[in-house]
Structure 1
């Protein structure tokens, strides 16, 4: 396992506010040292591509990503047009994050059938194949700013999705746990579970292992003053869980120095070098970035 890849840090935005508020938050993320500003894709959140365009106007350095698109909502060819246009208008700063979708209530609200998990992965694979084909066709318009299209992140947990990610993705993102059938409750993954999933992916990557970036979605950043609230933030752990939530790889607990050490340990043990936090953890995580730079 190579440890030479530098760290990258992202923040996922999802609170709309006004145009001025959105722009200010994106500028603040850049000032705090984040490398990537992401926009989540849920129906109650801002639409990803307009939000990314506004983030690009407000910033100069950060990469911009959809983290992640609910792929079954999108026609692949129309999505390719939106991706290529956005990439061109943000001067090639776009990274494209895709997922299979997991919240049944959102499909119901959109009046879109909620397929089985396997069918949703099939739809994701069809989308990836279409995007790769169109971006490789030099006669296809509009052309993205990045010649082969934006770097592709695929996020998920199950075997079929991770097989697709190992074959196609530039970045593989692990959510740090799995959702229940309705997608409204997160179950944290423990150390052994994350280790098994990463090992599964590395076995599939083979010679590509050092070329693919591994991302971990950090579910919570808990300063010392909030440590006692940790058990109330997640679904109950199974009775046979070996550790409490504070031991979950997707949870950071302690001072900035403590968390920086936890980040280093996650890189050494699992190979994660790209870490994404939620918007509500942006300020708490900024000192950790400073401690690692």
Structure 2
């Protein structure tokens, strides 16, 4: 199997819920634009994932739904298995479960949950994964999910999380960022990101071609003047890196729709990453990229 043998999939991380009618309409719009998965992050200060996901699923027909990603420290495995199975039933089998360690120290403090060192958070994630998957795969567990196996996405950047993901997950999510001690994120340069991908694929071994590889894009700007946009963003964020370095960050896509589509094809060819997640504010401008990549896949000889 070649690295480029899996068709593209596209997810969008939704960041806000307002009224019921507006949320349902936005979910339907996500589906109409060609996205495959509607996702909701798990942070304090934004809506709770499961009610939002259940409502979005009820308003759509084919759109898959899932948290991107749940903070394992904020949930109990037995309660999580119940939530997953319930929403899988309500969506007729369209749930994908995303899990991570959690990384924002202030959120732990606000929730009254100990912000443990990174290693202990990884330990807790491993325990959660083991328990949740055991419950969901148990024929005697009620409620039962519709899917024989609810797809599991594990996201992260460090060795232990990536190794765990390649051993147990259906989808491996790359953050393309390293996490500081207090939860601040620093984007990975292209060379370091490629090393992380190579590490994960090596850890996956024979499973590498069975895993779906995902990348979250933090910045997407469709423009015919990428140079100006890059300069503006460097100034906006007070960065010291050169324009080419910033534009080359793995989690940044700046250029025309055709240029971005070509870059994502090259990314898939090089790394096997075929599942791309973007943030809600770029829904409309990213849609033409989806159309272009659907055409690429339609011409491919799978």
Instruction: State if a TM-score over 0.5 links the two structures.
Output: yes
Instruction: Kindly state the Cα deviation for residue 242 of structure 1 after the two structures are TM-superposed.
Output: 10
**Count of aligned positions:** 289
User: For 1:72-111, what aligned pairs fall within 5 Å after superposition?
Assistant: 72-111=73-112
**Cα separation, 1, equivalents of 2:288 and 2:202:** 35
**Deviation at 1:191?**
1.3
1:201 is matched with 200
Alpha-carbon distance in structure 2 between the residues aligned to 1:242 and 1:159? 29
Match of 1:21 in 2: 22
Q: Which residue, out of 230, 233, 238, partners 2:233?
A: 230
- Contact 1:125–1:164 (Cα < 8 Å) also in 2: yes
Cα deviation code 1:243-262 (max 9, x no counterpart): 52111111111111111111
Matched-pair contact (CA < 8 Å) for 1:260–1:292: yes
TM-score for the superposition, normalised by structure 2: 0.92
TM-score by length of 1: 0.94
Aligned mates of 1:287, 1:233 — CA distance in 2: 26
State the SS of the aligned residue for 1:275: strand
Instruction: Give 3-state SS (helix, strand or coil) of 1:172's partner.
Output: strand
Residue 186 of structure 1 deviates from its aligned partner by: 2.7
Aligned to 1:123: 124
- Residues 1:43 and 2:44 are matched in the alignment: yes
RMSD, aligned CA: 1.6
- Match in the other structure for 2:257: 256
CA distance in 1, matches of 2:172, 2:132: 17
**5+ long unaligned stretches in structure 1:** none
Which residues in structure 2 correspond to 1:59-78 (within 5 Å)? 59-78=60-79
Moved more, 22-31 or 101-110: 22-31
Task: Label 1:203 to 1:60 Cα distance change in 2 as closer, same or farther (>3 A).
Answer: same
Where 2:209 maps in the other structure, the secondary structure is helix
- Aligned partners of 2:230 and 2:243 also within 8 Å: no
Measured after TM superposition, the shift of residue 169 of structure 1 is 0.5
Retained in 2: the 8 A contact 1:99–1:155? yes
